């Protein structure tokens, strides 16, 4: 598969586009959703989600462009502006959606990077599509970026873009941030294209990870598999460039969540939610995209057993699980939905009473103000992924608990656990341990809960999304002179 420099017709047309940018975000998806108006026309609105929440305020402050896919196959649209952000839609063909996105990104990389909770699939045609789409993203960024611009590439779908973009535009400052975990060598080396991925990422000047452990995994793999000399978080390339690989734990717009939580309308809605649940003593809440990495069956089983064993009275404690749809076309996700449907039905049938189901399961998405009301209504937030890069829901809950009430049950295997050390930490594979920890989170004295929440709030409020972006961009814009070291020959 050959890729001539700037070969895409669309990329060539973008070169003449008058709105070049000094700051460019490159992500798989644009930060917008399509909305049909009553008159039948189409408009766009900013979409919810961790990546969008993280980057939207940064992009608006910096001024710049966001390159991404609209989510519709075979769609070619002109660049457009929305609320001060220049959006550059990139087309992805239907076959590429199947091979690059549903295939290599979400059936190869996603399970591999999440501890092989599901078995990764390795298909050569998926890899070919991944290469082709990554090259298209690189061409778009090369076409839209001003001279010496800063380009920030996002996440596991685009790991080849940094090196491809550097070949097209060596003048650029290129940053890359991985939002999901980066696996240890024992897992990563299963990947047939492991060296190509590592070399793709090394095109960046700065590679950001959620945790220090993930950054160390990457540096170790580069030393083992590419042969570059490394020292702590520094990688020395043969061309004289120095690449940094560091942890930048992502966060949220903490003040915005607190302000939303403080609104009288939010508290009124929280009271309505509790009333609709029968005004129980304790409301437990889970909020997760429907994904096998999130540990939903384990936590629901733990809660169900507490109710079945009489350790929790369903009249006193109810569980609300919000699970927005995710990747509905992928078989594993359809099977997971069926499993959770059956599990919730069985628990509710076994221990529920007329008009009082112990579990309320909501397979839908909700706007941010409704989520804030749910966070205010919940006495215990249960965030128990089997593996997660960060998990912003945990931080959103903490930001909304301005009265320093409530409790957070948090998986040790979420990136957030490294920062929110005062949460009630659990191993989500240990059902008995999770039951004991959930009970403790419910029954601990208010003073103990307040002490824990106070410490977590200090962390979340001080280390917000602005600080995350500022730290990354300051590091990215630090010019590092050619290292002049003798690099170890590739083995």
Reported as a single tens digit per residue, the pLDDT across 396-455 is 999 999 999 999 999 999 999 999 999 999 999 999 999 999 999 999 999 999 999 999
- What integer is the mean pLDDT of 452-465? 97
Coil/strand/helix, residue 207: strand
- What integer is the mean pLDDT of 4-24? 62
- What integer is the mean pLDDT of 1-20? 52
Location of structure tokens 């508290």: 267
- What integer is the mean pLDDT of 365-388? 96
What is the distance in angstroms between the CA of the first residue and the CA of the last residue of the chain?
26
332 to each of 202, 219, 448, 487, how far by Cα in Å?
32, 32, 40, 44
pLDDT higher than 70, residue 242: yes
Task: Give the residue with greater pLDDT, 286 vs 84.
Answer: 286
Lowest mean pLDDT segment, chosen from 79-83, 204-208, 219-223, 240-244? 79-83
- Which residues lie closer than 8 Å to 211 by C-beta, 6 or more apart? 181, 247, 249, 415, 418
Location of structure tokens 């070049």: 20
CA-angle at 402, arms to 249 and 362, nearest 5°: 75
Give the residue numbers marked as catalytic.
Answer: 179, 388
pLDDT higher than 50, residue 346: yes
A 10 A CB-CB count for 463 gives 18
Find, among 195, 132, 190, the residue nearest to 164 by Cα.
132
Contact 326, 48 (CB under 8 A): no
- The DSSP annotation for 82-136 comes to ETTEEEEE----HHHIIIIIIIIIIIIIHHHHTTTSS-----HHHHHHHHHHHHH
At 50 the pLDDT is: 57
At 54 the pLDDT is: 67
Alpha-carbon gap, residue 231 to 244, rounded angstroms: 10
At 2 the pLDDT is: 33
At 4 the pLDDT is: 37
DSSP 356: B
At 71 the pLDDT is: 92
Q: pLDDT confidence of 14, banded at 50, 70, 90?
A: low
Q: pLDDT confidence of 6, banded at 50, 70, 90?
A: very low
Alpha-carbon gap, residue 154 to 174, rounded angstroms: 11
Alpha-carbon gap, residue 152 to 173, rounded angstroms: 8
Residue percentage of the chain with pLDDT more than 90:
79
For 125-150, how does the pLDDT look when each residue is reduced to its tens digit (9 = 90+)?
999 999 999 999 999 999 999 999 99
- Residue 316: HSE in the Cβ half-sphere, 13 Å Cα cutoff: 10
Q: pLDDT confidence of 287, banded at 50, 70, 90?
A: very high
């Amino acid at each position: 598969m050959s890729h001539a420099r700037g070969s895409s017709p669309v990329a060539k047309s973008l070169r003449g586009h008058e709105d070049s940018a000094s700051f460019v975000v490159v992500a798989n998806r644009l930060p917008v959703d399509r909305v049909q108006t009553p008159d039948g026309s189409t408009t766009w609105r900013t979409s919810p989600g961790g990546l969008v929440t993280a980057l939207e305020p940064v992009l608006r402050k910096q001024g710049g462009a966001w390159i991404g896919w609209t989510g519709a196959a075979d769609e070619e649209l002109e660049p457009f502006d929305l609320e001060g952000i220049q959006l550059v839609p990139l087309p992805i063909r239907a076959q590429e959606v199947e091979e690059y996105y549903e295939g290599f990104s979400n059936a190869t990389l996603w399970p591999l990077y999440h501890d092989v909770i599901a078995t990764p699939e390795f298909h050569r045609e998926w890899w070919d599509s991944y290469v082709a789409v990554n090259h298209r993203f690189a061409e778009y960024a090369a076409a839209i970026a001003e001279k010496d611009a800063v380009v920030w590439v996002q996440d596991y779908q685009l790991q080849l873009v940094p090196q491809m973009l550097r070949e097209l535009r060596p003048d650029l400052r290129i940053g890359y941030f991985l939002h999901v975990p980066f696996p240890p060598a024992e897992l990563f080396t299963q990947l047939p294209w492991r060296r190509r991925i590592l070399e793709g990422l090394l095109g960046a000047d700065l590679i950001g990870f959620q945790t220090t452990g993930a950054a160390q995994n990457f540096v170790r793999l580069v030393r083992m598999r590419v042969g570059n000399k490394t020292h702590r978080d520094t990688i020395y390339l043969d061309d004289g460039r120095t690449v940094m690989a560091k942890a930048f734990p992502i966060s949220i717009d903490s003040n915005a969540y607190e302000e939303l939580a403080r609104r009288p309308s939010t508290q009124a809605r929280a009271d309505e939610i509790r009333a609709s649940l029968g005004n129980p003593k304790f409301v437990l809440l889970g909020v997760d995209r429907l994904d096998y990495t999130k540990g939903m069956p384990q936590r629901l089983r733990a809660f169900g057993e507490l109710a079945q064993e009489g350790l929790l009275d369903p009249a006193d404690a109810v569980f609300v699980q919000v699970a927005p749809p995710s990747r509905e076309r992928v078989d594993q996700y359809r099977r997971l939905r069926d499993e959770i449907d059956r599990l919730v039905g069985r628990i509710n049938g076994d221990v529920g009473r007329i008009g009082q189901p112990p579990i309320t399961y909501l397979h839908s998405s909700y706007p941010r103000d409704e989520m804030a009301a749910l966070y205010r209504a919940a006495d215990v937030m249960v965030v128990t992924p089997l593996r997660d890069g960060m998990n912003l829901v945990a931080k959103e809950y903490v930001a909304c608990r301005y009265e320093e009430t409530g409790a957070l049950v948090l998986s040790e295997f979420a990136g957030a656990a490294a920062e929110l050390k005062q949460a009630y930490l659990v191993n989500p594979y240990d059902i008995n341990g999770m039951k004991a920890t959930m009970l403790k989170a419910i029954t601990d004295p208010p003073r103990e809960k307040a002490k824990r929440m106070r410490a977590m709030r200090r962390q979340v409020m001080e280390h917000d999304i602005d600080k995350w972006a500022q730290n990354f961009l300051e590091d990215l814009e630090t010019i590092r002179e050619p290292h002049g070291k003798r690099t170890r020959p590739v083995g």
